[in-house]
A and B are shown apart, each in its own frame.
Chain A
Amino acid sequence: MRPGTDRLPLPGSQRITMYKRDIYRILTNEPLTDAVWRMTLEGDTQWITAPGQFVNIALEGKYLRRPISVCDYDARTLTLIYKVVGDGTAQMSRMTPGEELDLLTGLGNGFTPKESSQRPLLVGGGVGVPPLYNLARRLLASGRHVEVVLGFNTASEIFYEEEFRALGCSVTVATADGSRGVKGFVTTAIAERGLDFDYFYACGPLPMLRALCDGVPQDGQLSFEERMGCGFGACMGCSCKTKYGNKRICKEGPVLEKGEIIW
């Protein structure tokens, strides 16, 4: 148990927390859609211990680091998918293979696969989709049937649909404008397709997370976003209130359990 903020053990709280600041070399950096890019990096990934964790990236000329969730990783490489939303991410999109980045890795408590769940549902909205990818791989490797619902605004913004399918997931896409898949939100798709699941894992915009929690009776884990200062629990910039006391999105989060969230 982590004194200071929690009263109950958290997902992943048993692991020994260690961080690494290191230099990573860009292997690839390419657009997946108009605004979403995928970057793969080479370097020490030993401190990344769970899907849903994030890295914090130092950028030339930017004072604060940029927190980006880890999409996938292995012993030598990590994959980040990021949306170009401002100067910092635009700067990232202009970087080329061979260039180097200063990263803090192993940050945050990620998703903890629930032992008893045999039919998990993964729900991603927009740029919230990436951290579910490594989770899907793990769940499939442990023999689970994995349902995935991906929500986007419009067809041109869709990414990773085929990648999830290639892993062996059952994938449903929803677009708000109906240009592809189910017309509506992820909750529409879950209801319309009558998806059968016993637990969920979700990452996406706040309204989506809330609609999901309100709309399905199943329990689950949700990954949240907040403007951060440090990314490792020091500045208290990203605090939120939960039923188990105050938590930091960067440290006890970004993944919280449905049952503890105060909307």
Chain B
Amino acid sequence: MVEEQHNTTSGAAPASREASAPDLSVTLCGVRLDNPVIPASGTFGYGNEFKDFYDINILGTFSFKGTTREARFGNPTPRIAECTAGMINAVGLQNPGIDAVIERELPRLRTFFHKPVIANISGFSVEEYAYCCQRIDREEQVGWIEVNVSCPNVRHGGMSFGTSPEAAAEVTRAVKAVTTKPVFIKLSPNVTDIVSIARACEEAGADGICLINTLLGMRVDVRRRRAVIANTMGGFSGPAVFPVAVRMVYQVARACRIPVMGCGGVQTARDVIEMMMAGATAVQVGAANLVNPYACRDIIEALPDEMRRLGISRLSEIIGIVE
């Protein structure tokens, strides 16, 4: 089996393969995606900003802005700091609240996006996570729920649930009890042992794992002698974190049986393929959308040629191919 996989991906692909169109589709918890490219939560709003750039129906799907029970303004500004090969954000889960998302954002989204969407849910208590997931469970357009237990920018919430196996499992159980939709738990890289947390989520019934959220980071304005970001620290993302993400995807995909959505620093079609080879079933693209609003479209358009170059006929075949 292993030998066979090696053969199909080694340098020279059979001529018959090159003739047929590469198959980009993957299956995420039983739902087929046209391609594995998924804009990550917090970089794509509720889709509205990007429909002015391109037809977002070309995407596999997208993960909408982290949504909480109540509307949140988030942190004071400045919330953004530039870094070499990346950025720090400390937005702090600004969102209009679950009611406004259901009453306003989803009906509007339906007018220009015709695929199931990933609902990203954040919270400050187990009850809040469960409440929001129960509300969103009734929404037909939501194909998956992504539970964010890894936001580094809010106190007493987010990341505090994702840094202990017990707390992550508790949130998973509470959410699974109130929804029939597939549940992904989005994990933080700011932990000692990612595998134990991912396993705890799997054992608690999670249908998949998404990782990584941002790395905790900080910049100092040396002229003003203070932190660039009003909240002092924030989440670091961008191409600089890609190797960390690939490593964690690899570790978790090997340790768990449930699918992994890879996320972190992805910028190109080749990055997508690399992350899938490390174990990702689908790949999220985050900060790249903010720098190049066409990033996901460009990646999707580049994937077939990149696959041909690498002798890949079906993307789904390379998932976790790295030993």
Chain A residues close to B by CB (< 8 Å): 3-5, 17-19, 21, 58, 62-65, 104, 226-230, 232-241, 246, 251
Contacts and interface: CB of A to CB of B under 8 A. Distances in A.
A58 B291 CA distance: 8
B5 interface: no
Contacts of B21: none
B50 interface: yes
Given A19-B52, A227-B77, A227-B80, A237 B89 contact: yes
Given A58-B291, A227-B79, A229-B80, A235 B73 contact: no
Contacts of B53: 19, 21, 232
B125 interface: no
A228 B81 CA distance: 9
14 contacts: A4-B46, A19-B53, A58-B291, A62-B82, A63-B291, A64-B80, A64-B290, A64-B291, A229-B89, A234-B45, A234-B50, A235-B42, A237-B80, A238-B80
A239 B104 contact: no
Given A21-B294, A228-B80, A229-B80, A235 B43 contact: yes
B238 interface: yes
Nearest to B82: A64
Nearest to A65: B291
Given A63-B84, A63-B85, A239-B94, A234 B289 contact: yes
Contacts of A3: 104-105, 108
A112 B226 CA distance: 37
Interface residues of B, number: 38
Contact of B87 (A64, A246, A251): A64
Contacts of A62: 82
B44 interface: yes
A63 B49 contact: no
A63 B105 contact: no
A246 to B, nearest CB: 6
B290 A239 contact: no
A254 to B, nearest CB: 13
Given A3-B108, A234-B289, A239-B73, A63 B83 contact: yes
B245 to A, nearest CB: 17
Which are the 3 A-B pairs with shortest beta-carbon distances? Answer: A230-B290, A237-B80, A227-B78
Given A3-B104, A4-B105, 17 more contacts: A5-B96, A62-B82, A64-B290, A226-B77, A227-B79, A229-B80, A230-B293, A232-B52, A232-B293, A234-B43, A234-B49, A234-B50, A236-B65, A236-B91, A237-B80, A238-B79, A239-B94
- Among B48, B108, B238, find the residue whose CB has the most chain A CB atoms closer than 10 A: B48
A226 B104 CA distance: 27
Contacts of A65: 291
Contacts of B291: 58, 63-65, 230
B74 interface: yes
- Among B48, B86, B289, B291, find the residue whose CB has the most chain A CB atoms closer than 10 A: B291
B52 A17 contact: yes
A21 B292 CA distance: 9
Nearest to B53: A19
A240 B91 CA distance: 12
Given A18-B52, A19-B53, A239 B293 contact: no
Contacts of B49: 232-234, 251
B40 to A, nearest CB: 11
A234 B290 contact: yes
A4 B293 CA distance: 20
Contacts of B73: 239, 241, 246
Nearest to B103: A3
B82 A235 contact: no
Given A19-B52, A235-B290, A246 B94 contact: yes
Given A19-B53, A19-B293, A237-B80, A63 B44 contact: no
A246 B93 CA distance: 13
Contact of A237 (B45, B46, B79, B104): B79
A15 to B, nearest CB: 12
Contacts of A233: 45, 49
A17 B48 CA distance: 11
Nearest to B84: A63
A233 B79 CA distance: 14
A65 B77 CA distance: 18
Given A19-B53, A229-B290, A241-B73, A4 B96 contact: yes
Contacts of A238: 77, 79-80
A228 B291 CA distance: 11
Given A4-B96, A63-B87, A234-B289, A239 B77 contact: yes
